[in-house]
């Protein structure tokens, strides 16, 4: 079982700077992205060449008093996930899994008041 790292592999918590078009590099087998946003966003992610299939990315979007929308951009690797229509004063969360070719949503966006 040499190739199996998760759930024992490294974890990364990345606080993504507010930007309309962030591109985030995903390196670890478990990554959590925290993003307080003040504008609509097109999020892109780029997988490390060594990222193992099955690696997970959790995206947390913190909407303040104004709801912001999030789509998935085309820079980096393909992301297959629903866009987010933001909810005022809520955190929205989605989990994505790396297939070896793209990031795919495991669930719909969850809204946490």
pLDDT digits (tens, 9 = 90+) for 64-89: 888 899 999 888 889 999 999 988 89
Task: Specify the range with the lowest mean pLDDT, choosing from 2-6, 52-56, 74-78.
Answer: 2-6
Q: Is the pLDDT of residue 6 over 70?
A: no
Question: Which residue range forms the structural domain that includes residue 64?
Answer: 11-112
* Total number of domains constituting the chain: 1
Q: pLDDT for 7-43, tens place per residue? A: 557 889 999 998 999 999 999 999 999 998 899 999 9
pLDDT band at residue 2, thresholds of 50, 70 and 90? low
Tell me the whole-structure pTM to 2 decimals.
0.88
| Triad 45, 70, 11: Cα angle to 5° | 40
19: in domain: yes
Encoded tokens for 86: 């933001």
2: in domain: no
47: in domain: yes
Place of tokens 């085309």: 74
């Amino acid at each position: 079982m040499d190739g199996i790292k998760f759930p024992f592999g490294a974890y990364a918590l990345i606080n993504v700077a507010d930007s309309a078009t962030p591109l985030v590099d995903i390196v670890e087998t478990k990554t959590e992205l925290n993003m307080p946003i003040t504008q609509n966003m097109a999020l892109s992610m780029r997988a490390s060449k060594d990222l193992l299939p099955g690696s997970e990315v959790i995206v947390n979007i913190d909407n303040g008093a104004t709801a912001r929308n999030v789509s998935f951009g085309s820079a980096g690797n393909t992301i297959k996930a629903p866009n987010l229509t933001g909810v005022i004063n809520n955190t929205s969360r989605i989990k994505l899994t790396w297939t070896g070719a793209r990031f795919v949503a495991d669930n719909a966006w969850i809204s946490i008041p």
